[in-house]
Amino acid sequence: MIDREQQVLDRIERQRRRPAKVREERITLSHGAGGKATHTLIEAVFLAGFGNPLLAPLEDSARLRVGDARLALTTDSYVVSPLFFPGGDIGDLAVNGTVNDLAVSGATPLYLTCGFILEEGFPIADLTRIVASMRAAADRAGVTIVTGDTKVVQRGKADGCFINTAGIGIVEGTSDFGVSAVQPGDAILVSGPVGEHGVTIMLARGELDIEADLVSDTAPLNGLIAELLAACGGVHAMRDATRGGVATILNEIAVDAQVSVVVDENAIPVRAEVRGASELLGIDPLYVACEGRFVAAVAGDQASSALAALRRHPLGAEAAIIGRVSAEQPGMVLLNTAFGGTRIVDMLVGDPLPRIC
Amino acid sequence: MIDREQQVLDRIERQRRRPAKVREERITLSHGAGGKATHTLIEAVFLAGFGNPLLAPLEDSARLRVGDARLALTTDSYVVSPLFFPGGDIGDLAVNGTVNDLAVSGATPLYLTCGFILEEGFPIADLTRIVASMRAAADRAGVTIVTGDTKVVQRGKADGCFINTAGIGIVEGTSDFGVSAVQPGDAILVSGPVGEHGVTIMLARGELDIEADLVSDTAPLNGLIAELLAACGGVHAMRDATRGGVATILNEIAVDAQVSVVVDENAIPVRAEVRGASELLGIDPLYVACEGRFVAAVAGDQASSALAALRRHPLGAEAAIIGRVSAEQPGMVLLNTAFGGTRIVDMLVGDPLPRIC
């Protein structure tokens, strides 16, 4: 286990000594894909520019102390296209996504803000539908939308509706989660089948000439995570597998905790429809975004109790142990393939699925 | 003085009994202008959809209790065009705007989030410049940007760079600010000359064929407000005069506190360049956005000590007492004109200056 404060100082020092550099002169879609280009942009531009110890852990939310309260604070913008898709819309995505960023940080989500950027000409009926969906998602997750903002830009200067949500949660107990707490011997679990959200969005765009009975997995994970934490004290890190998918999180764990992660392809739950569509797209389902799944690193001797706790909850019914953490080959993610081989799973490169969330 | 909780309940009940209704079928620029159409949209769509007692006061920030801490939480998106203008850019605007929303709520701003929506092709150099400017503004205001998010959309689906910031602050002391605390006999103060930001943006767009030596007034108001509050216990409400300008805030006070506000045109500080450009645009400087000015309602007998406190600070050197609050004609804002007449100052209608912030 690497000391968190030390890790933060190391990251700032590393950036100072050998600054990450964005090679491109202009923003590309890859910079928003959550993979390698996004990480470089964050280190080279945002961490270098804003650089402070609270931002530096680059977790899904920042941990703050305000008075006597320990808080988590997070934000995400949503630019998904299309706005409405099987199983959800940009509204519940914007609520669930921020709820989940707080929940995977070990915080209890409480309050959300919501900022709309609307394009001139956007139908009021669609906006009303999105707001209703946000309200329903907030009620389901037990959070309240307490303040907001609306901006309008001229026709052609946005794409219908973009939403930003920020959220605060309270951190209770003494548990210190985070990728830097992951240790060799930990088991890696995923809370359900991967890639359904991403493939659903691609199908909703009509870009694939197939029909499938898939819906987005968008869901609030705070209830499921609360049950896991109540049942199992050995949870070291959690991240929700959004942009860049499970593969990206595994790489973040490997790099930030300086361990390797070895996963078994056969153990990863993937629906047949997702597998089929991913093959057509030429991408690995491990890189496809989920919006209601998370990856957890759990002390090895508590893996089965963690799995049992997840499976008791409807949102974790298909949870699985997919791999383990090792001290060898730090920084690497290795996949034992279904055919008996082993290959390296790298960070996502490029953006095969733009505007998935 | 109207009881705040009662006012909240009244607003929810009013909305239930006689729901505000958006007459248009589609979003127009007016819905983002901060005036009448924005208020209708907020009441009809957001308040009706999200409706809860924390949102209902519709102040610049929500007041929350988390554990033992009393917090203020706020959010704003920024879509200003052009991104760079004399006196500032979208970066410091995004920091100062959120700092100011917290400060006018009587909170000490602490932590900010920052969400970027970038258009494919946006220059990395511009992004780096904006981030540097956010950092400088955060340092100046004494706040820290602790978490962020970046999304990228395809070329033509946004306009370079949009930024959302959310912010939390701590509420100390027992003061209960808010428009509903405004009382007849209060004096109305403005912290400096009005309309400079809005006119600067119009000039930067080259839409007016005049040259003027104007810069945006964008600035963090928390230092100035802290000095005012330390010097003067009778501050009942503060709002920063952004979209819709001073006139919109005066209308919000008049409607929400059920009072009238009478202002003297001669007393309102307006630079000659702003007055000239406003005449060319055919709008009243009272409706033009500021980004570093606020309006305060202060107990009448403390007006001069409040004014003195403001003037001691560089950002308040040109502060002025511009009017008073009366019990007669509740809901109205009246202007004693420079020519000796009186006219009604209504809520802003339409959007003469789109994307000013």
Tell me which chain A residues have a C-beta less than 8 angstroms from the C-beta of B46. Answer: 131, 148, 150
B125 vs chain A: nearest CA distance in angstroms?
A: 7
Boundaries of CATH 3.90.650.10 in chain A? 179-344
The pLDDT value given to residue A212: 82
Q: Which residue has the tokens 């007006």?
A: B303
d(CA A295, CA A238): 6
The pLDDT value given to residue A4: 56
d(CA A95, CA B261): 39
- For all residues of chain B together, what is the average pLDDT? 92
Percent residues over pLDDT 90 in chain B:
78
Boundaries of CATH 3.30.1330.10 in chain A? 63-174
A67 vs B61, B69, B73: nearest CB: B69
Tell me which chain B residues have a C-beta less than 8 angstroms from the C-beta of A352. Answer: none
Query: Mutate which of B46, B78, B242 to test chain A, going by most A C-beta atoms within 10 A?
Result: B46
Tell me which chain A residues have a C-beta less than 8 angstroms from the C-beta of B26. Answer: 120-124
Write out pLDDT tens, residues B251-298.
Answer: 999 999 999 999 999 999 999 999 999 998 888 999 999 999 999 999
Fold for the domain defined by B60-174: 60s Ribosomal Protein L30; Chain: A; (3.30.1330)
Tell me which chain B residues have a C-beta less than 8 angstroms from the C-beta of A113. Answer: 62, 73-75, 166
Interchain proximity A162–B117, CB inside 8 Å: yes
The pLDDT value given to residue A69: 87
Q: What is the mean pLDDT of residues A231-243?
A: 94
Write out pLDDT tens, residues B69-78.
Answer: 899 999 999 9
Judge whether residue A25 has pLDDT over 70: yes
Judge whether residue A1 has pLDDT over 50: no
Q: What is the mean pLDDT of residues A243-260?
A: 95
Judge whether residue B345 has pLDDT over 90: yes
Q: What is the mean pLDDT of residues B104-112?
A: 95
State the architecture of A63-174 in CATH terms. 2-Layer Sandwich (3.30)
- The DSSP annotation for B157-181 comes to SS-SEEEEEEEEEEE-SS---SGGG
Judge whether residue B2 has pLDDT over 60: no
Please list, in sequence order, all residues whose beta carbon lies within 8 angstroms of the beta carbon of residue B207, skipping any fewer than 6 positions away.
Answer: none
Residue A73: C-alpha distances to residues A107, A113, A222, B112 (Å):
9, 11, 15, 9
A146 vs B30, B73, B119: nearest CB: B73
Fold for the domain defined by A179-344: Phosphoribosyl-aminoimidazole Synthetase; Chain A, domain 2 (3.90.650)
Tell me which chain B residues have a C-beta less than 8 angstroms from the C-beta of A111. Answer: 54, 62, 64, 66, 73
Write out pLDDT tens, residues A315-341.
Answer: 999 999 999 999 999 999 999 998 999
Per-residue tokens: A316: 């974790």
B45 vs chain A: nearest CA distance in angstroms?
A: 6
What's the N-to-C CA distance of chain A in angstroms?
A: 32
A146 vs B62, B70, B132: nearest CB: B62
Minimum CA–CA partner of B23 in chain A: A124
What ipTM goes with this model? 0.95
Interchain proximity B68–A66, CB inside 8 Å: no
Interchain proximity B42–A168, CB inside 8 Å: no
Write out pLDDT tens, residues B301-328.
Answer: 999 999 999 999 999 999 999 999 999 9
3-class DSSP state of B321: strand
User: pLDDT-derived band of residue A2, with 50, 70 and 90 as boundaries?
Assistant: very low
In sequence order, what are the beta bridge partners of A319? none
